[in-house]
Amino acid sequence: KSGFISIIGRPNVGKSTFLNRVIGQKIAIMSDKPQTTRNKVQGVLTLDDSQLIFIDTPGIHKPKHRLGDFMMKVAQNTLKEVDLVLFMVNAQEGYGRGEEFIIEKLQNVKTPVFLVINKIDKIHPDELIKLIESYNEKFNFAEIVPISALEGNNVEKLLEQIKERM
């Protein structure tokens, strides 16, 4: 089994931390520079029975100018070409305008989307339940997976769920 996975989400939600954890320092090519390429392979995870290729897309955010608009279209097209989209959010921040904007962009994407709620080490379980409920109303996610990329909670389970979709 093998497949392409795109990780999207606002800055600082923990995308690089997650990739570092699953891929390891050696292979992961992390960059915080704005992306200009269409599909940038960030890391390849080779497991016994599968290969997961994590790619970076140009950031999804509200464009401030026409070039931004163009980059957004590139990012959206990329989402259609992958096997799975991981939409990562910060559990500490709740649902806001930034998340709403990304969800709007996901509406016409047929690729399955996992909502990955990161930084659960920072919040109370009751808050997590409320967050899951509010996200459930907004979009039909294929899975909603709470994790802590920093501490590793549930990361293995997320990888299993990813593999099931490949």
* Distance of alpha carbon 14 from alpha carbon 136, whole angstroms: 21
Residue 21 near ligand GDP by CB under 6 A:
no
Helices (H), the chain: 15-23, 66-81, 97-106, 125-138, 155-164
Which residue, 103 or 166, is less far from ligand GDP as judged by CB? Answer: 103
- The radius of gyration of the chain's CA atoms, rounded to the nearest angstrom, is 15
Which residue, 6 or 16, is less far from Mg ion as judged by CB? Answer: 16
Quote the DSSP letter at residue 34.
Answer: P
- Backbone φ and ψ for 41, nearest 5 degrees, come out as -70, 125
Is 97 labelled a binding residue?
no
Which residue, 1 or 37, is less far from ligand GDP as judged by CB? Answer: 37
Site string for ligand GDP, 137-166 (x = CB under 6 A): -----------xxx----------------
Give the interface with ligand GDP as residue ranges (CB under 6 A).
Answer: 9, 11-17, 118-119, 121-122, 148-150
Known binding residues for GTP are 9-16, 56-60, 118-121
